[in-house]
Chain A
Amino acid sequence: MANERTKASEEQIVYANILNKGMWFGLALLIITFIIYISGALPSYVPIEDLSKTPPGSTVPYWSMRAHDFNQALNIPTGWGWTALAGKGDYLNFVGIAMLAGLTILCYLVILPILIRKKDTPYVIIAIAEIAVLALAASGILKTGGH
């Protein structure tokens, strides 16, 4: 059992609690939305059975295409464009995925005031820098050159 010496710091406990709640919520969301997707309860933007089909002019099925070609062939928006399709069965799944992917940013935002209160300047700077890095990654600004 943890005694006073081996106890985790306040910010570590707070981080763990947010992570725990967010992870279960995100996972539950992921499973529920996937059931909606495969059951066909909501129409999908790209019907699931079409993913294994080979479109005219291509030699490979949709799911064997590179992501860039897949998006072009099916006119799928990149970045946060998927939010406009969140009412569709397939893109509804992205809500849970984005929730899991965004959880770490939330954890950092929650521990930041504790670090500031403790006047832990190096870790305040590190936390702010990490939030900026993750926000940049999540922003969709970064683009790859395709191929």
Chain B
Amino acid sequence: MPNKTQKISKAVLSLLIFTALIVGAVSAFASTEAAAAPAVANSNVAWWVWPLVLFVVTFVLGILAVLGGVGGGVLFVPIVGGFFPFNIDFVRGAGLLVALAGALAAGPGLLKRNLASLRLSLPVALIASSAAIVGAMIGLALKPNVVNILLGATILLIVIIMGTAKKSDFPIVPKPDNLSQSLGIMGIYREESIGKDVEWTVHKTPQGLMLFVVIGVMAGMFGLGAGWANVPVLNLLMGAPLKISVATSKFLLSITDTSAAWVYLNQGAVLPMIVVPSIVGIMLGSMVGVKILAKAKPKAIKWMVIGLLLFAGLRALLKGLEIWK
């Protein structure tokens, strides 16, 4: 129904503009005050304004993430890192916990419906979570401007992947590889859209596992959920059906992000004042997003999300290069 789709698109666009105005107004006010203030001073923006704005922004991001088919963390880190006064260390720590909470919430349902596969997840998670620890340690050791440059470049890469990557509902796996056979990575799930039970298996497992080393490092380094990379590897490279790939990717984040989150927690890079409003905001937003998604799936919103990521990626890159401070 085009009218409903148009209405939803307009509503989402209005939400985006509203949020941008709030963040822009508070940022501008805060920076004016800071510039005019002496070296030892307090910001004139009341402390509670930022968590409140954070809650509103993450609520909108939660809606957009569901409609745009991305994880909350990938929107959270560049946007909050680029437009809020918090250090990127705390933003990445919060980003990991936001992605973790989302994965923990979605995991049980996906596992019970046999869409997320434990047999596929466990070997991949071992590789990705080990790499995420290394990524987290590298990320916390790097200078903030280097992190911002790399983050900006990564977000722009994600934009390219989102804009160009194809998906395959039922990839053809001519022959499972030896590793997947010996680990018994296979399954059957009910595909309601065609009313059939679909048997699946995977191939190119060693290559996939190698790529999960890179994905894990990036997830830990930038505090991003890594669904944007997990899904193409599981679906296009290893040949898992799209539904299995998306569900397993979501569940996988609960393990990958756990290891990196512990590193941030132990290094004191977690501020509850940022974490809790963000988790609650994004989870409530996701719930609203799921309800909207059930009524319509406007393609335009995916492009809005890509546009938003492009903007946030450029912001991170230019901030890191000290062109747009």
> Does B173 count as interface, using CB distance less than 8 angstroms?
no
- Pairwise interchain contact B118-A144, C-beta atoms closer than 8 A: no
| Residues in B neighbouring A56, C-beta threshold 8 A | 40
Out of B47, B122, B254, name the residue touching A51 (CB < 8 Å). B47
Evaluate whether A93 and B87 lie within 8 angstroms (CB atoms) in the complex, with A101-B261, A133-B259 already known.
no
> Does B129 count as interface, using CB distance less than 8 angstroms?
yes
| Residues in A neighbouring B93, C-beta threshold 8 A | 67
| Residues in A neighbouring B188, C-beta threshold 8 A | 5-6
- Pairwise interchain contact B254-A19, C-beta atoms closer than 8 A: yes
How many whole Å from B230's CB to the nearest CB in chain A? Answer: 16
> Does B10 count as interface, using CB distance less than 8 angstroms?
no
| Residues in B neighbouring A20, C-beta threshold 8 A | 108
User: Bound complex: CA of A37 vs CA of B264, how far in Å?
Assistant: 21
Out of B86, B190, B266, B268, name the residue touching A2 (CB < 8 Å). B190
User: Bound complex: CA of A139 vs CA of B269, how far in Å?
Assistant: 15
How many whole Å from B315's CB to the nearest CB in chain A? Answer: 16
Chain A interface, DSSP helix/strand/loop, else mixed = helix
> Does A103 count as interface, using CB distance less than 8 angstroms?
yes
- Pairwise interchain contact A103-B104, C-beta atoms closer than 8 A: yes
Which residues of chain A in 54-76 are interfacial with respect to chain B, using CB atoms and an 8 Å cutoff? 54-57, 59, 61, 63-68, 70-71, 76
Evaluate whether A16 and B112 lie within 8 angstroms (CB atoms) in the complex, with A34-B272, A100-B101 already known.
yes
- Pairwise interchain contact A37-B272, C-beta atoms closer than 8 A: yes
- Pairwise interchain contact B45-A142, C-beta atoms closer than 8 A: no
How many whole Å from B243's CB to the nearest CB in chain A? Answer: 12
- Pairwise interchain contact A27-B122, C-beta atoms closer than 8 A: no
User: Bound complex: CA of A105 vs CA of B266, how far in Å?
Assistant: 16
| Residues in A neighbouring B111, C-beta threshold 8 A | 8, 12-13, 15-16, 19
- Pairwise interchain contact A93-B272, C-beta atoms closer than 8 A: yes
The bracket for how many chain B residues form the interface is 35 or more
* CB closest chain-A residue, reference B266: A140
* CB closest chain-A residue, reference B139: A144
> Does B323 count as interface, using CB distance less than 8 angstroms?
no
- Pairwise interchain contact A1-B262, C-beta atoms closer than 8 A: no
In the complex, 22 of the A-B residue pairs with CB atoms within 8 angstroms, ordered by the A residue number, are A2-B114, A2-B190, A12-B114, A16-B107, A16-B108, A34-B276, A51-B47, A52-B47, A54-B41, A54-B43, A61-B43, A67-B264, A68-B140, A90-B272, A94-B265, A94-B270, A105-B258, A126-B126, A134-B129, A134-B255, A146-B141, A147-B142
On B, residues with C-beta under 8 Å from A are 37, 39-43, 45, 47-48, 50-51, 85-87, 89-90, 93, 97, 100-101, 104-105, 107-109, 111-114, 117-119, 122-123, 125-126, 129-130, 133, 137, 140-144, 182-183, 188-190, 197, 254-255, 258-277, 279-280, 283
Instruction: Contacts A16-B112, A54-B43, A104-B258 known; list 14 others, CB within 8 Å.
Output: A9-B118, A15-B111, A23-B108, A27-B105, A31-B280, A54-B41, A56-B40, A67-B264, A101-B265, A104-B254, A123-B183, A130-B125, A133-B129, A134-B129
